[in-house]
Chain A
Amino acid sequence: MSYRELTWQGLWQNNPALVQLLGLCPLLAVSNTVTNALGLGLATLLVLVGSNITVSLVREWVPKEIRIPVFVMVIATFVTVIQLLMNAYVYGLYQALGIFIPLIVTNCVIIGRAEAYASKNPWHHAAYDGLMMGLGFLIVLVLLGGIREVIGNGTLFDGAELLLGDWATALRIELFAVDYPLLLAILPPGAFIAMGFIIALKNGIDRYLEQRASKPVKEVTRARVTSQG
């Protein structure tokens, strides 16, 4: 698979959050602000790249029968590293994300990529795949965080200093002041509803592109009965 193809797959065609619907638990739980979303997205991205490289490097020596435990051990190691790093350098965010940092171990995106791609491909492809999948996840996470923060709180980048240091307080944008926040957007149901709309939007764009691409063809030679596999 070419790098171009990997980029397209990770960011759009096979986006882990919008198409594979993997890793929904952290996606829905911590996307209540942009800052939290960005923090968890970056952590997941780093773990994904690290575990993909490692799994790809050791793929010749891991027996098929015990590959899953090995993958989990690799992932858990990277998660522990990230967790300790976050504890040391971004303590405020570490506290805000709480249990969801260790829970990255159970994020299906990571083990899914290890199993489906990294264990069958050379390490540089695996690293790039991890990067693109992680970015795809990160973008959706931040988008969802942005939507929920704007609707629920009227702000963007609230608390960014937890992640980026003190200068980031200037990033905080107050779009409108709300006396009574729309709590639902901040609470879990808001995540599900917003996620549904994002997926619908993605499918709508796909359909629009498909229609536009197929428009010039007037003559239908055969009816396609199976989906494009």
Chain B
Amino acid sequence: MTFKLAASPHAHQRRTTQQIMRWVYLALVPGVLTLMYFFGWGVLWQLALAIVTAWVAEAACMALRGRPISSAWRDHTALVTAVLLAISIPGMAPWWLIVIGTAFSIIVVKHVYGGVGQNIFNPAMAGYVLLLVSFPVQMTSWPLPQSLAQFDLSFWDTTVLIFSGYTPAGYSMEQLRMGVDGLTMATPLDSLRTALNHQLTISEALAQPIFSGLAGIGWQWINAAFLLGGLVLLKVRVISWHIPGGMLLGLLIPASIAWLFAPDQSVSPLMHLLSGATMLGAFFIATDPVTAATSNRGRLYFGLLIGFLVFVIRTWGGYPDAVAFAVLLANMTVPIIDKYSQPTAYGHASGGRGGQS
């Protein structure tokens, strides 16, 4: 009997980029279904538009750079960018919004920096920030959760609305956002911010109809669905717990402190966790392997930083949600985090800082 001697590593990571990306799609399914349940059919159109734009942009960039175009189809990173952007923006947003955002993500944020694996910033979030800064009205026009809405929109209504700006019956987005009482309603985080700016206490703000349940109609379930998908990714080891754990902890700690000291002026920690893009951000966006820190300790710091920034921007910033800005800011710190969280190599003295050896 012979023993073959092979050099390490003995345990292989057999997954290819495509397989990882396929797991990510799969894990997004519950979240997308919940989004559809609460906010209508729009998200399907956004997904379709984003994917087509991403394909075209990726293929064009590959052709320009003299690379094989087929790789745009084969490796799914462009598609994941497109999908993440599509589910981040309001479902009924006009069609050109997602097209501009996706094209910017792929062409400027990804390929100008050198393509897959080279980009500094998370492409989906950079595209989101471009859209949010440029078109604040469209980007904050979330439709009402279906249970509160005045109008029931069919698939055809949604399609016409996305491509022409009006439903077949002639209603604009502005009218559709009015509840049964004729008042325009914003997302839970947005309403809370407005209420706090008007010197209302949290308990008064929470009396609005959009807040039944833990964190606003719809949003808590959407976040729960993304959490479920994220746990699947953790289970199959597509992502490690460091970034999502760090981010949720980084958000939870300051939110709890603020809430304990001033429960009437601060958003409760549970609400922080279950509203806006918290769970989507923690499990799907911040965990982008290209733009996150590389070592496990670094990932933990990276996550903590994002969580803390989300709290800071949500509490004192000018925009209602903060995940995109927090992720981009944390992306910038990744080189420093990587430098100071480099693990000690076996056999070397501990405490050595990166770059000195």
Binary A-proximity of B95-115 (CB < 8 A = 1, otherwise 0): 000001000000010001000
Which of B108, B112, B135 is A183 in contact with, Cβ under 8 Å? B135
Q: Determine whether A193 belongs to the interface, using a CB cutoff of 8 Å to chain B.
A: yes
Q: Determine whether A187 belongs to the interface, using a CB cutoff of 8 Å to chain B.
A: yes
Q: For residues 200 through 235 of chain B, which have their beta carbon under 8 Å from a beta carbon of chain A?
A: none
Give the number of residue pairs across the A-B interface with Cβ within 8 Å. 20
Which of A180, A182, A187, A189 is B137 in contact with, Cβ under 8 Å? A180
Q: Determine whether A184 belongs to the interface, using a CB cutoff of 8 Å to chain B.
A: yes
Q: Determine whether B134 belongs to the interface, using a CB cutoff of 8 Å to chain A.
A: yes
Interface size class, chain B: 10 to 19
Q: In the bound complex, how far is the Cα of B304 from the Cα of A101, in angstroms?
A: 44
Taking a contact as CB atoms under 8 Å apart, the answer to whether B133 and A189 are in contact is yes
Q: Distance in Å from the Cβ of B129 to the closest Cβ of chain A?
A: 9
List of B residues within 8 angstroms of A187 by Cβ: 133
List of A residues within 8 angstroms of B130 by Cβ: 184
With most chain B CB atoms within 10 A of its CB, the pick from A183, A184, A185 is: A184
Taking a contact as CB atoms under 8 Å apart, the answer to whether A184 and B138 are in contact is no
Taking a contact as CB atoms under 8 Å apart, the answer to whether A183 and B133 are in contact is yes
Q: In chain A, what residue has the closest Cβ to B131?
A: A184
Taking a contact as CB atoms under 8 Å apart, the answer to whether B133 and A180 are in contact is no
Taking a contact as CB atoms under 8 Å apart, the answer to whether B108 and A180 are in contact is no
Binary B-proximity of A174-200 (CB < 8 A = 1, otherwise 0): 000000111111010100010010000
A-B residue pairs in contact (CB < 8 Å), sample of 9: A180-B134, A180-B138, A181-B134, A182-B100, A184-B133, A184-B134, A185-B134, A189-B133, A196-B112
The 9 closest A-B pairs by CB, nearest first: A184-B134, A183-B134, A182-B134, A184-B133, A184-B130, A180-B135, A183-B133, A187-B133, A193-B108
**Interfacial residues, chain A to chain B (CB-CB below 8 A):** 180-185, 187, 189, 193, 196
**Interfacial residues, chain B to chain A (CB-CB below 8 A):** 100, 108, 112, 130, 133-138
